[in-house]
Structure 1
Amino acid sequence: MNAPLPRAAAVVGAITLLLLLVPAMAMQFSGDFNWGPGDFAAAGGLLFGAGMAYVITSRRVRTAKHRVLVAMGVLLVLCVVWAELAVGLFD
């Protein structure tokens, strides 16, 4: 049984915050990471949006195979958008 959508959103939000702790901690120990508030907001929006897109879309499909395909599609779109924002892939 699927969790209610607000609970799923809370889980996705918690995972997003945990993932954002990685660059936040890396900034404390290395000068290679120099993220500002806008970078964290953009990354958080992308991660949360991708997670919610997966949750909502995966509820519509019935088989595990289709859920894997949905996950791969969401991950592909996330990676392309992230790369475009990071280095301007399509410039």
Structure 2
Amino acid sequence: MITQNKRLIAIILTVVFILCIPLVAMQFTNEVDWKLLDFMIMGFLLLSTGLACEFVLRKVKGTDSRIVVISIILVILFLIWAELAVGIFGSPFAGS
């Protein structure tokens, strides 16, 4: 069984790993052009999503309830990510 502290470390390491992907890509192509603010925003989104899922795992008892709540959290993450990337809703923070 994974302890809670090990899950927190895994969340942080996963966020760092995911953020390394565009960092490495920027070294090989001009197609990926992230600024410091982009890394900060995505880091915040990924970390807050991971911590929200950890909170659900700690506080919600039923497996079905956990799946539903974590699914909702992930859908929200993907909608925010898509909005920031391409502006699917045309909101002011879309960046397009």
TM-score bucket (shorter structure) = 0.7 to 0.9
Once the two structures are superposed, residues 40-72 of structure 1 have per-residue CA deviations (whole angstroms, 9 ceiling, x without a partner) of: 000000000000000002212223333222221
Q: Is structure 2 residue 33 aligned with structure 1 residue 34?
A: yes
The runs of 5 or more residues in structure 1 that have no matched partner are none
Which residue does the alignment assign to 1:3?
Answer: 3
Which structure carries more relative contact order (alpha carbon 8 Å, separation 6+)?
1
Which consecutive aligned stretches of 4+ in structure 1 deviate over 3 angstroms post-superposition? Answer: 1-4, 6-10
Percent identity between matched residues is 32
The answer to whether the 8 A contact 1:58-1:70 is kept is no
The answer to whether the 8 A contact 1:12-1:48 is kept is yes
Which residue does the alignment assign to 2:94?
Answer: none
Scaled by the length of structure 1, what TM-score is found? 0.83
Partner-residue secondary structure (3-state), 2:59: coil
**Across the two proteins, how many residue pairs are aligned to each other?**
90
Distance 2:71 2:61 in 1: 16
CA RMSD of aligned residues (A): 1.8
Scaled by the length of structure 2, what TM-score is found? 0.80
